[in-house]
Amino acid sequence: MSKKQHIQQYVQAIQNKKARFEFEILDTLVAGIQLFGSEVKSVRLGHASLGDSFAIIHHNEVWLENMQITPYELNRMEMIEAKRSRKLLLHKKEIQKIQAKINEKGLTLVPLKAFFNSKGLLKIELAVAKGKKLYDKRETIKKRDNQRQLEQIKKQY
């Protein structure tokens, strides 16, 4: 079994399903993430969650906060905190563009998914997003329900 097949055997992508419901996505970009070796093993096994995570810019660096990576069971080194801050790897120009967008009222950085690229490196898909109001969320629910009903009708015929 080749290395690629071995990697694909585990996890495909970790989604932040709540983000698309809570936020209106304006722009997306892909960033690398700085992890320890045992954290990468945990993510490959699917022991990670983007549920309550968000990204901030601090001292011209982008940091991912509250990403849950359960410690790897067989790690013999020191234990790593599950929800520690993790640095995202972006170019200076990209960070400046993001900073300019975020300075607008009500915009934030939200991670949408974590995935392994073709080289086996963990990447995070970030979105510049705007929070939805309650009525926008209701509209999203209606659209989703209507889509499901259409799919059910199509299956019947």
Q: Could you tell me if residue 86 is inside a domain? A: yes
CATH code of the domain containing 24: 2.40.280.10
Alpha helix positions (H), 11-133: 17-22, 37-44, 92-102
Q: Please tell me the total count of domains within the chain.
A: 1
Residue 34 lies in a domain: yes
pTM equals: 0.76
Q: Is residue 141 part of a domain?
A: no
Q: What is the pLDDT of residue 3?
A: 52
Q: Could you report the per-residue pLDDT of 11-43, keeping only the tens digit for each?
A: 578 888 888 888 889 999 999 999 877 788 888
Q: Which residues form the domain of 104?
A: 3-132
The confidence score (pLDDT) of residue 42 equals 84
Q: Is residue 139 part of a domain?
A: no
Tell me which range, 35-44, 65-74, 92-101, is most confidently predicted by mean pLDDT: 92-101
